[in-house]
Structure 1
Amino acid sequence: MYKNLALISFLLIGMFLSGCQIISKEKHNEQGTLVVLDTDEQRFRTEYLGTINRSYPKLEVVLVPYENYRNEQTKQGNLTNQEILSGAIEYYLPDIIIARERADFKKLMSDNRLAPLDRGIKSDKYDQDPLDPKLISSLRGDDGLQYALSSHFTSTVLYYNQSAFQQAGVATPNDGMTWEEVYLTAARFSGNSINNNKEYGLYLPNANSTFSAVLNLAYEQGIGFFTPKKELALRTPEWVKVWETVTKAVTSGALFPFGQDAAGEDPIKQFSEGKIAMIYGDDRLIAQIINRKADWAMVSEPIHSKQPDVGNNYRYLQYMGLSVNAPHRDLAWEVMKLLNGEKAALSFSGQGIPIRKAVANIRYNHLDLKAFYSLRPRDSEFEDPAPTGLDPEFYLDLYSEGDKKVKEVIENKVTIDQALLELEELGQVLVKRYTKVE
């Protein structure tokens, strides 16, 4: 059914997109109204509105008050974010729809809310050649058609201090390392010191506690709390391995301290001085590291051995689509091309790495960014098959108890097996407490 609807939409949209080149010649004189729905209104104002106003001074851009609409709908009933988004589209009839999350984008495609763009891309000779094919593939639906444009993405890489590795006599990291290899490499630095200062093997900016590091590593390897039968299972060999890996790294001193334990410390400064060998983080760290004048390099994020070409943390900063019912389709398409073109990408002030490599080279002064482009985004988001009706409060309580148990392991009060047994038993009680019976 979805493919048939998509094909019909593709043929209809192709009829209007075939005339887009004529419209583009008169775009600066275009008058009228263009309705845009962005799930993040403030980012649209910051990142796009100025560009549109400069190129289309006579055009009125109406931004859907999505935040207010969402708040009102939330008060009226127990609706999901995707149901609220669908309702806003029907109510406001936008020309352009901008989703910020992949789950929303996929839902828009499956609900036939977006028009395929392929014929317009081809007939207008919209230049996608400089775009990485692996990144473009994630903008396509199951039918192979492209339903969105995007200009920037973010991902994670493994940064390392070259001098620290050279002085320690340890082989530098390489693309395609597994997490086990990363932790083993980090262990080579535990116990080392530089000028009587402790040296650490790895810093995890996104982890604020040992249990947080445990959860992050589990996520990276696709390990969840629940089985396919929606039963809580924490004493599996996979969970045991994760706990062993992280707690060993903490007790040996291979991991840079978390949260308050690192109070007063500047990890980027320590990294630049060679006191931290590796950092696992996203592209926002680049500017900080460059400012510290570190002797550094980077490799791709650690991979799962079963999917060596897949990166877990690719995220597009926008999925800009053309509404299948757009009242001003031709104009909307012209604006979309403008906002995702090379000139706009060069002046873009938001976060993220340009999908266009030529633009990235200019923006980052020809810094080697291969590590960010070497893997492909995974085909679908990791989903933990939790029981239907499980209240999110369950996770808060489980995380709190997990923090306690992992501390007991670190302090040698209990074994990992005992900690996981107790956490699983408590978790089962929490599942019953927080599952709503309809």
Structure 2
Amino acid sequence: MKHNLLQKVMFVSLSVMFIGISAGLSTGRQVSANSDNQADTKQTLKVLYKEKYYFDEKSFKLQFPNTEIQEVKWDGKSDIKGFIAEQSPDVIMLNTLEYKQLSKENQLTELGQLIKRDNYDTTTIYPGMLDALKMNGKLYGLSPTFNTESIFYNVDLFKKYNVPLPKDGMTWEELLKLSAKFPTSGNKDTRIWGLHYPLDNYTYLINDIATSEGLTRYNPNTLKVTINTAAWKKVYSMAITAIKSNSIEGSNTSGYTNDPFIMGRAAMTVSTSSMDTLRDVTADKAAIANYKPFTVKIAAGPADPKDRKITRNIHLPSIMAIPASSANKDIAWDFIKFYNGADFAKSRSDQPLGYSLTRMDYSKEYKGLSLEAFYKLKPNLESPPYLNPMGIPFNNSQYSIILQSEVKQVISNKKTLDKALASIETQVQKSLDDAVKKEKAKK
């Protein structure tokens, strides 16, 4: 879980993931119920994507050898509706906000009828995912993978220090208080920590907590920054108190020996890339000096404090959908069924690289560690992490610099939190206003 490398890791992981699918999949042909023997007819399927890593046409062509994939790359910046109208793709791969906007504007094909027509089994898909993807009761897309946040914990340390074990559905506030129950004395390189979470940039923790509570940094309709509020003040206060408690180990360096949780010196780690952390904690570490095995378990969370059965810290990298204008809906649907099916899940079940699978058929456990926690909480996609609404040029890097500077002053008692929040809001508002003016000037 290295936040500044997270997106790059996701892309590389997915590239390896899809390249490795071909050998494991059945070569039997799959066609839709009324496809009129389309598997025997030469045809072209246009697939729009932002990152090529999200699919590998070679594996699809094992079952549909007469279908030629024509790739259509979108830069992610130009107007997607105009781009779709110009390019006429048959399948489009969207992030959560793009998916929500296009489905609400009737730009996508409703999949419910196709699912019913083909008796397509959705019973083993992550509970709550289908509901989360429904817009006004209708389903317009499916996502074969997702990335969720989870709480990994060292059972042995909790027992040693007589601290209650983490539970499913705990909030960030509860986790930070739990972390503070562990001793804070000793050398920083050898002592025990309550939590391992990167603090080289305070934006990570503050945004993580805010996302779990459904807070947004600005109103996308009015383009007014909304940071100087009571709700945001609570988040900042919570994070700053935790940082000052000296119970969080905040390094953000690579390598098992540099990871206090892996080395058994941190009681918990809250991972924004659960499958990568799963791979790390279960990897063979026999060659690592001074490594001592410990019992690892996973709890579902952090949860939304308003509803502990919900998680907002979930990322869907590529929701597959069919434009309403597609002339090849049947083969487009075959494409979506293929990548969201049980065969795909089976081929990927023993290679955790970057993302969890929405199909749970073969995702019960990994190397003896239960994966149940990844699927326990219901996804809420209202305010997805890492994303800005379409057409809004919010400068995340500038926001991070401003936040980091102001929080440092609060931690060092050079500025009150109230003054810092007012300053953050003013500076971020100017950054957003400048970015909007710059965009308008281009048009």
Per the TM superposition, whether the score is higher than 0.5 is yes
Q: How does 1:408-427 map to 2 (within 5 A)?
A: 408-424=409-425
Q: How does 1:121-132 map to 2 (within 5 A)?
A: 121-132=115-126
8 Å CA contact retained: 2:156, 2:294: no
The one-character-per-residue Cα deviations of 1:28-86 (angstroms, maximum 9, x if unpaired) are: x5232222223235124xx331212211223222112x24xx48xxxxxxxx54x2x22
- Return the offset for 1:231: 5.2
- Return the offset for 1:23: 4.0
Give the letter aligned to residue 115 of structure 1: T
- Return the offset for 1:375: 1.1
Q: Does 1:50 align with 2:42?
A: no
- The residue aligned with 1:373 is 375
- The residue aligned with 2:168 is 175
- The residue aligned with 2:359 is 356
Question: CA separation of 1:243/1:105 partners in 2, compared to 1, >3 Å: closer, same or farther?
Answer: closer
Equivalent-residue separation in structure 2 for 1:151 and 1:427 (angstroms): 36
Equivalent-residue separation in structure 1 for 2:398 and 2:325 (angstroms): 44
Question: CA separation of 1:126/1:391 partners in 2, compared to 1, >3 Å: closer, same or farther?
Answer: closer
Give the letter aligned to residue 254 of structure 1: S
Equivalent-residue separation in structure 2 for 1:127 and 1:425 (angstroms): 51
8 Å CA contact retained: 2:127, 2:378: no
Question: CA separation of 1:204/1:112 partners in 2, compared to 1, >3 Å: closer, same or farther?
Answer: same
In structure 2, runs of 5+ residues without a counterpart are 1-30, 286-292
- Return the offset for 1:226: 4.7
Give the letter aligned to residue 243 of structure 1: Y
- The residue aligned with 2:86 is 91
Q: CA RMSD in A?
A: 3.4
Q: Does 1:165 align with 2:158?
A: yes
Equivalent-residue separation in structure 1 for 2:432 and 2:143 (angstroms): 39
Q: How does 1:381-396 map to 2 (within 5 A)?
A: 381=383, 392-393=394-395, 396=397
Give the letter aligned to residue 414 of structure 1: K
- Return the offset for 1:424: 4.7
The one-character-per-residue Cα deviations of 1:211-254 (angstroms, maximum 9, x if unpaired) are: 44233323332334457976555554333333332222222211
TM-score, structure 2 as length reference: 0.77
- Return the offset for 1:285: 0.8
Equivalent-residue separation in structure 1 for 2:188 and 2:207 (angstroms): 34
- Return the offset for 1:280: 0.7
Question: CA separation of 1:50/1:432 partners in 2, compared to 1, >3 Å: closer, same or farther?
Answer: closer
Equivalent-residue separation in structure 2 for 1:430 and 1:212 (angstroms): 20
User: Larger % of helix: which?
Assistant: 1
Q: How does 1:219-258 map to 2 (within 5 A)?
A: 219-226=211-218, 232=225, 234-258=227-251
Q: How does 1:71-86 map to 2 (within 5 A)?
A: 81=78, 83=79, 85-86=80-81
Identity %: 23
Q: Does 1:32 align with 2:42?
A: yes
- Return the offset for 1:163: 0.8
Give the letter aligned to residue 51 of structure 1: S
Equivalent-residue separation in structure 1 for 2:435 and 2:86 (angstroms): 34
- The residue aligned with 1:338 is 338
- The residue aligned with 1:274 is 264
- The residue aligned with 1:75 is none
Match of 1:139 among 133, 144, 158: 133
Give the letter aligned to residue 264 of structure 2: G
The one-character-per-residue Cα deviations of 1:166-197 (angstroms, maximum 9, x if unpaired) are: 11110110012121111101111241559982
- Return the offset for 1:309: 2.0
Question: CA separation of 1:190/1:426 partners in 2, compared to 1, >3 Å: closer, same or farther?
Answer: farther
Give the letter aligned to residue 192 of structure 2: E
Equivalent-residue separation in structure 2 for 1:411 and 1:419 (angstroms): 12
8 Å CA contact retained: 1:31, 1:58: yes
- The residue aligned with 1:115 is 109
Equivalent-residue separation in structure 1 for 2:238 and 2:340 (angstroms): 42
8 Å CA contact retained: 2:202, 2:403: no
- Return the offset for 1:370: 1.9
Give the letter aligned to residue 91 of structure 2: I
8 Å CA contact retained: 2:48, 2:92: yes
Question: CA separation of 1:315/1:331 partners in 2, compared to 1, >3 Å: closer, same or farther?
Answer: same
Indicate the structure (1 or 2) with the bigger Cα radius of gyration.
1
Give the letter aligned to residue 275 of structure 1: R
Equivalent-residue separation in structure 1 for 2:330 and 2:125 (angstroms): 23
- Return the offset for 1:312: 0.8
Give the letter aligned to residue 401 of structure 1: I
Equivalent-residue separation in structure 2 for 1:408 and 1:353 (angstroms): 39
SS in 1 for 2:361: helix
The one-character-per-residue Cα deviations of 1:70-115 (angstroms, maximum 9, x if unpaired) are: 48xxxxxxxx54x2x222222222222222x011112221232222
8 Å CA contact retained: 1:390, 1:436: no
- Return the offset for 1:428: 6.1
Question: CA separation of 1:366/1:38 partners in 2, compared to 1, >3 Å: closer, same or farther?
Answer: farther
Give the letter aligned to residue 33 of structure 1: Q
Give the letter aligned to residue 211 of structure 2: Y
In structure 1, runs of 5+ residues without a counterpart are 1-18, 72-79
8 Å CA contact retained: 2:300, 2:373: yes
